[in-house]
Amino acid sequence: MALKQHPDTVLFLFEGYEYLSYPAHHPFRPERANLLRDLLEREGLLDKPFLSVRNARPAGRRDIEMFHAPDYLEALERGSRGEFFEQLVHFGMGGDDCPVFPGMYELAALAAGASLEGAGLIASKKADLVFNPLGGFHHAGVSHAEGFCYVNDVVLACLDFARRGLRVACVDLDVHHGNGTEDAFLDRDDVLTVSVHESGRTLYPWRGEESAVGVGAGRGFNINVPLPAGCDDGMFLETMRKIVMPSVELFRPDVVVLEIGMDVLQGDPLAHLRMTNNSVAEACDDIRELGLPILALGGGGYTPHDAARGWALSLLSLTNCHPADMFAGIVGGVFLGSNEHTGMLRDMQVFTSGPEREALKDEVRRLVAFHEQHTLPLITGAKSPPSK
């Protein structure tokens, strides 16, 4: 990517598809994308000449079959039409996490459509940065749904880049381990998968241990950073700077796929980290400074307003803009503590303290030492100069 002040950016929205939604009691709320649009409008980002908004279109069945099995997709489509049959359970559907509901195929295809169109825009150099807030369904497998995910748009986008000969670094910062993505690329050395997540000791999908470093040709090209519950911004950023960024730099990718799940934030109802959106935005700055094209995906985040604020702040970082209302908490000389009231994008800082802090820092140091010793030395860069 030529050095520009701001990357040519495409933001995907989903106007006209509001009728597609998970059942009312389900934590995944696709309408977070509308909240994000409102925040970005207020920040003035939607008026910038370097940013264009596109409405998403569903991916075609053949594109989705690049990763998923036809019989699974057939079942997904039938379930989406209102049929319920026993085989759905065999494919992981029908429980609380992946309920069977009308339009579920269309919703999954829409998210995948935006991620694949985004990959195409980047590969054809029509955009340097694409953000699909509905993307990031990293748990879905070839033939099964799990963890709210039916179609793995992350894998599809990575496969689409890889089939064009591009080396992909997939950096997954969602609080849940990217198990579906890891499984898809475990034995490949052309797609580096890096997942920073809350440890599987305390959170679904109960895996993602640091010792899973890839197999065969893919050995060293799968990096897991399982953060213990309670980790704060400083601890996350230490792993970002000492594990994630060095691994990506060693790999010398052509493109970065970045999942910025906002379920890492303190207060998310599904997870137990103590992070704020400030550190996610800093991580986005680090990624932007690589100077590579980026396909950014929303991922999780189950307090809708906090997720939208975190994505807005992250998108400002990725586009090299600064939030205009950073100090908007000061109103008439009175500092209002609640972000909800002031409309600030930035979270207030929180830290873990006391003996817990020391124990967490020890664990982070151990993870850094593990990767410095065992995985970073295995990562090799492009054999020929990067194709740019």
Calculate the dihedral angle through the C-alpha atoms of 361, 345, 199, 114, rounding to the nearest 10 degrees. -140
Judged by CB, which is closer to Zn ion: 37, or 176? 176
User: Which of 117, 128, 259, 263 touches Zn ion (CB under 5 A)?
Assistant: 263
Helix (H, G, I), strand (E, B) or coil at 70: helix
Judged by CB, which is closer to Zn ion: 176, or 252? 176
Q: Is 6 annotated as catalytic?
A: no
Going by C-beta distance under 8 Å and a sequence separation of 6 or more, which residues neighbour residue 86? none
**In the complex, least distance from residue 59 CB atom to Zn ion, rounded to whole angstroms:** 21
Encoded one letter per residue, x for contact with Zn ion by CB under 5 A and - for no contact, window 204-243 reads ----------------------------------------
Judged by CB, which is closer to Zn ion: 261, or 329? 261
Q: Which two tokens stand for residue 67?
A: 């990763």
Q: Which two tokens stand for residue 325?
A: 């209302």
Q: Which of 65, 61, 52 is nearest to 118 (CA)?
A: 52
Query: Which of 68, 138, 139, 371 is an active site residue?
Result: 139
Helix and strand counts by DSSP (H, E) for the chain: 13, 10
Q: Which of residues 273-332 bind Zn ion (CB under 5 A)?
A: 300
Task: Evaluate the CA torsion angle 233, 237, 239, 240 in order and state its sign.
Answer: positive
**Which listed range, 25-33, 47-55, 236-244, 259-267, lies at the site for Zn ion (CB under 5 A)?**
259-267
**Which listed range, 52-60, 241-249, 254-262, 317-325, lies at the site for Zn ion (CB under 5 A)?**
254-262
**In the complex, least distance from residue 89 CB atom to Zn ion, rounded to whole angstroms:** 23
User: Which of 30, 261, 310, 323 touches Zn ion (CB under 5 A)?
Assistant: 261
Question: Using CA atoms, how far apart are residues 60 and 294, in angstroms rounded to an integer?
Answer: 23
Q: Does 133 bind Zn ion (CB under 5 A)?
A: no
Encoded one letter per residue, x for contact with Zn ion by CB under 5 A and - for no contact, window 147-186 reads ---------------------------x-x----------
Give the type of residue at 304: P
Residue number of the CB atom closest to Zn ion? 300
Helix (H, G, I), strand (E, B) or coil at 354: helix
Task: Evaluate the CA torsion angle 359, 362, 367, 370 in order and state its sign.
Answer: negative
Judged by CB, which is closer to Zn ion: 127, or 154? 154
Residue pointed to by tokens 């977070």: 32
| Kind of pairing between the strands at 51-55 and 129-132 | unpaired
Q: Which two tokens stand for residue 250?
A: 């060693």
**In the complex, least distance from residue 147 CB atom to Zn ion, rounded to whole angstroms:** 7
Question: Using CA atoms, how far apart are residues 332 and 342, in angstroms rounded to an integer?
Answer: 12
CA distances for 281 relative to 28, 67, 84, 239, 277, angstroms: 22, 31, 42, 15, 6
**Cα atoms in the 13 Å half-sphere on the side-chain side of 165:** 7
Q: Which two tokens stand for residue 39?
A: 């925040």
**In the complex, least distance from residue 125 CB atom to Zn ion, rounded to whole angstroms:** 31
**What number of chain residues touch Zn ion (CB under 5 A)?**
5
**In the complex, least distance from residue 139 CB atom to Zn ion, rounded to whole angstroms:** 8
Judged by CB, which is closer to Zn ion: 174, or 347? 174
Judged by CB, which is closer to Zn ion: 113, or 300? 300
**Which listed range, 27-35, 83-91, 110-118, 263-271, lies at the site for Zn ion (CB under 5 A)?**
263-271
Judged by CB, which is closer to Zn ion: 113, or 301? 301
**In the complex, least distance from residue 39 CB atom to Zn ion, rounded to whole angstroms:** 21
The residues of the shown chain that bind Zn ion, judged by CB under 5 A, are: 174, 176, 261, 263, 300
- The catalytic residue positions are 139
